[in-house]
Amino acid sequence: MELDLIGKHVLISGGSRGIGRALALAFAHAGARVLACHRDPSPQADRLAAELKEAPGEHLLVQADVTDPTQVDRLLGQARERFGGLDVVVHNAGVISHVPFAELEPEEWHRILDTSLTAAYLLVRGALPLLGPGASVIAVGSRAARAGIPLRAHYTAAKAGLEGLTRSLAKELGPRGIRVNVIAPGVIDSDDTKALPAERRAELTARYSAMTALGRLGRPDEIAGAALFLASGLSSYLTGQTICVDGGI
Ligand code: NDP
């Protein structure tokens, strides 16, 4: 058994920076053909597009807001036209905010739920006609869904919702040979932490590192490693699971 993702068609949401960037590059360098989307134009998206051009194979980075059903349809239309079908769907797009529950307005609740959870429903339901036996669906959840975190009730509710969605879909789609799993990252040293002032970053890094068995934050490529495994035949008997990639919290 081997990884063997060569020529596989992979759709990744939220592929402009952070974990999504690592996912897109890891799949491209593993020989897959990647269609990734992000919401807004940014220098990070331009940089990733250039990096994907340098990678072997043909890849595409497009703008598509996965909370918008019309844009999801257009994105899946691009997958159909370019690839004819999909072998892997990774719903990675997610947004977070820190709000006391009493001040959590419906608009913000919906923004977070729409991006993490409703978009997963839109993407996976829309992708179903493109997925055949052997396909793998991966949702990027969060270790926070199990731990619970103050000021992030909306975020943890959305990520916990992804786990329920995944378990049900695994049972419903299993007979078609489609596997569905969640990767639940712990604290990853990605763009958000890097953007913090040095002192605050050091304080948070120390605090979160101390919570892990490995004594450090994770890297985006370590989430990508789990995604490659879940996408490949190496995990062919693994479905309906949440894989915590959290350094041992
Ligand atoms: P970033 O904020 O760095 O990147 C988020 C990505 O999602 C960007 O590419 C962004 O695109 C895209 N995105 C956001 N909203 C939409 C949308 N409506 N439509 C399409 N794309 C969208 O996130 P991270 O890399 O830190 O996190 C990636 C995933 O991992 C998220 O689901 C997050 O919840 C989860 N996670 C992250 C952890 C961490 O420590 N970083 C820990 C646990 C879970 P654009 O650039 O256009 O905004």
CATH number of the domain that residue 131 is part of: 3.40.50.720
Look up 155 and say whether it is catalytic: yes
pLDDT computed for residue 189 by the predictor:
94
pLDDT computed for residue 110 by the predictor:
98
Alpha-carbon radius of gyration of the chain: 17
Q: Which of 42, 129, 151, 142 is nearest to 91 (CA)?
A: 142
Structural domain count of the chain: 1
Ligand 1 binding pocket includes 16 (Cβ within 6 Å)? yes
20 occurs within a structural domain? yes
Ligand 1 binding pocket includes 48 (Cβ within 6 Å)? no
Whole-angstrom distance, CA of residue 21 vs CA of residue 40: 14
pLDDT computed for residue 18 by the predictor:
96
pLDDT computed for residue 46 by the predictor:
98
pLDDT computed for residue 219 by the predictor:
97
pLDDT computed for residue 184 by the predictor:
98
DSSP assignment string, 116-164: IIIHHHHHHHHHGGGEEEEEEEEEE--THHHH--TT-HHHHHHHHHHHH
64 occurs within a structural domain? yes
pLDDT in tens, 89-117: 999 999 999 999 999 999 999 999 999 99
User: Residues, the chain, total?
Assistant: 249
> Which three-class secondary structure state does DSSP give residue 220?
helix
pLDDT computed for residue 194 by the predictor:
81
Ligand 1 binding pocket includes 182 (Cβ within 6 Å)? no
127 occurs within a structural domain? yes
205 occurs within a structural domain? no
Other C-beta atoms closer than 10 Å to the C-beta of 173 total 19
Give percent of the chain with pLDDT exceeding 70.
Answer: 100
208 occurs within a structural domain? no
> Which three-class secondary structure state does DSSP give residue 8?
coil
pTM of the entire predicted model: 0.98
Report the atom number in ligand 1 closest to the C-alpha of 44: 46
Other C-beta atoms closer than 10 Å to the C-beta of 116 total 31
Ligand 1 binding pocket includes 236 (Cβ within 6 Å)? no
pLDDT computed for residue 192 by the predictor:
79
159 occurs within a structural domain? yes
Residue span of the structural domain in which 176 resides: 9-186+220-240
98 occurs within a structural domain? yes
Residue 167 CA to ligand 1 center (angstroms) comes to 22
Residues of the chain with pLDDT under 50: none
pLDDT computed for residue 196 by the predictor:
87
